[in-house]
Amino acid sequence: MDTTAAESADKVAGVARAATRPAVVPMTSVPRAAWHRLGDAAVQANGFYAADYALAAATLSHRPGLLLAHADNADRDLIGLLPVVSAWHALHLPVPALIARQAYSPLSVPLLHRDAAVTAAGALIDAAAAAGARVLSLPAMTLDGPAFAALQAAMSRRGLRTVIHNRHERAAFDATQESEPYLRAGLGGKRLKELRRLRNRLADDGAVAFAIASTPADVAAALERFLALEAMGWKGAGGTGLGQNANDAAFIRAAAAGLSVDGRIQIAELTLDAAVIASGLVIRQGPQALFFKIAYDETQARYSPGVQLTLELTHHFAADPAIALVDSTADAGHPMIDHVWRERLPIGDLLIPTMPNDPIAGAIIALMAARRTARSLAKRLLHALANPKEKRP
């Protein structure tokens, strides 16, 4: 069989297999053991799609489901997984599209088994097509690495064209490096010396300590301190702290409780006389860590407690042989983390037409772009109205 015929057969067989079972299944239909095994064997890690996190986050979404890929063996081993919701529930757009959107999850890399990544990626696309979706959207997808390569290969086999919107970069840390030379090279000797001077001045006010909560009991206690600290700051004033909404608080407590059982979440704390002045939530999956949330005591802002915590985490990750990369999960151009961590992850919204040369998919993708532009303009307008005295270029 020539290559073209093989690819056509692969496409037909994939769609046929997808059509024999529900294309989008309930979040609770996958055994956690199988989900955990896939996460550990994924060609590219994504802690936000770990079972304990994703199932907790599902409580904040309307009708979430899963696209799945299974091996063609007797055990039907799970080789691919992607949480999705409809375009209506994600974007309020009445179009046939599925969106890999999950609450508090700024990364949409699907879980693809390392031994069958391209097959798994193709099966997820086929499942989306079988569900009637003309477009499968992966917002906040990393645009390099093995998962992206697998998706591109699967799309090529199906005659599909890659469409990427909203390209940007966010800070990351290559944790295989030694922390001290890394920080000095990035911040510069003068800035690093100033931060250490501030740390010494902070120590004049009391005992300064850095600690990592890892056990279930320690994580549960540290999480409550994090939520209290976050509520004291600007997020608390705006009512957007994780602990200020009952559903959000229940989500993060459930996620942390599940993840802490096998050490998949850590909470870093910087304390002054045992009082927390900076705290950060870190999710771990394989060789990757996700610096998920940070909060700090704004009354101590003169000492840069958030930066001090990040410096401590840099040393912590560099000393951990299990971690190779730390994703800041921050917005592009973040004023703090961009100056500390110098690596950049290319991120974008990957939009996958599920059928080749489909004009309806093209129209849906154009509509999504128009909606994003309108939202961006509205945000800038609201910011301008809220800050009338801010100098404009």
Which of 17-21, 194-198, 379-383, 386-390 has the lowest average pLDDT? 17-21
pLDDT at 7: 41
pTM (2 d.p.): 0.90
- Classify residue 329: in a domain, yes or no: no
DSSP 69-115: EE-SSTT--EEEEEEEEEHHHHHS--SSEEE---TT----PPEEBTT
CATH number at residue 115: 3.40.630.30
Residues 161 and 199 in one domain: no
Q: Is the pLDDT of residue 385 over 80?
A: no
Letter for the amino acid at 15?
V
- Identify whether 331 is part of a domain: no
Could you tell me if 68 and 183 lie in one domain? no
Q: What angle do CA 96, 99, 102 make, to 5 degrees?
A: 145
Report how far residue 50's alpha carbon sits from residue 264's, in angstroms, rounded to the nearest whole number: 9
In the block, tokens 């295989």 appear at 176
Give the tens place of pLDDT for each residue, 81-128: 999 999 999 999 999 999 999 999 999 999 999 999 999 999 999 999
What confidence tens digit (pLDDT) does each residue in 207-259 have?
A: 999 999 999 999 999 999 999 999 999 888 888 889 999 999 999 999 999 99
Whether 269 has a pLDDT exceeding 90, the answer reads: yes
How large is the average pLDDT for residues 41-49?
Answer: 98
Q: Give the residue with greater pLDDT, 78 vs 15.
A: 78
Residue 383 — very low, low, confident or very high, per pLDDT cuts 50/70/90? low
Q: What are phi and psi of 299, to 5 degrees?
A: -70, -15
Which phi-psi region, left, alpha or beta, contains residue 234 (left: φ > 0; alpha: ψ -120 to 50)? alpha
Q: In this predicted model, what pLDDT tens digit does every residue of 129-175 receive, in sequence order?
A: 999 999 999 999 999 999 999 999 999 999 999 899 999 999 999 99
Read off the pLDDT band of 387 (50, 70, 90).
Answer: low
**Is position 391 within any domain?**
no
Mean per-residue pLDDT of the chain: 91
Phi and psi, residue 175, nearest 5° = -80, 5
Question: For residue 71, what are the contacts with CB-CB under 8 A and spacing of at least 6?
Answer: 77, 78, 79, 113, 116, 119
Residue 388: per-residue pLDDT: 53
Kindly state whether residues 251 and 160 are assigned to the same domain: no
Tally Cβ neighbours within 10 Å of residue 187: 18
One domain for residues 101 and 154: yes
Q: Is residue 258 part of a domain?
A: yes
Q: Is the pLDDT of residue 2 over 80?
A: no
Report if residue 95 sits inside a domain: yes
Of 308, 323, 338, the one marking the end of a domain is 323
- Are residue 25 and residue 146 in the same domain, yes or no? yes
Least confident segment among 13-17, 150-154, 275-279, 281-285: 13-17
Q: Are residues 147 and 222 in the same domain?
A: no
pLDDT above 50: residue 8: no
- Given 275, 290, 323, the domain boundary residue is 323
Mean of the pLDDT values across residues 323-346? 96
Position 332 in a domain = no
- Give me the domain span that covers residue 67: 3-168+346-386
Other beta carbons less than 10 A from residue 367's beta carbon:
16
**How many domains are there within the chain?**
2
- Is 76 in the same domain as 136? yes
Residue 369: is its pLDDT beyond 50? yes
Confidence at residue 377, expressed as pLDDT on a 0 to 100 scale: 81
CATH code: domain of residue 203: 3.40.630
Q: In this predicted structure, what is the pLDDT of residue 5?
A: 40
33 and 141 in a common domain: yes
**Tell me, what's the pLDDT at 21?**
54
What are the residues whose beta carbons fall under 8 Å from the beta carbon of 166, sequence distance 6 or more? 139, 348, 349, 372
Task: Note whether 144 and 268 are same-domain residues.
Answer: no
Percent of the chain with pLDDT over 70: 91
Q: Would 361 be classed as within a structural domain?
A: yes
pLDDT of 273 higher than 50: yes
Hey, which residues does 111 pair with through a beta bridge?
A: 81
Q: 352 and 299: one domain?
A: no
> What is the average pLDDT across 186-213?
96
Let me know whether 208 and 121 are in one domain.
no
Residue 32 forms part of a structural domain: yes
Q: Do 264 and 286 reside in the same domain of the chain? A: yes
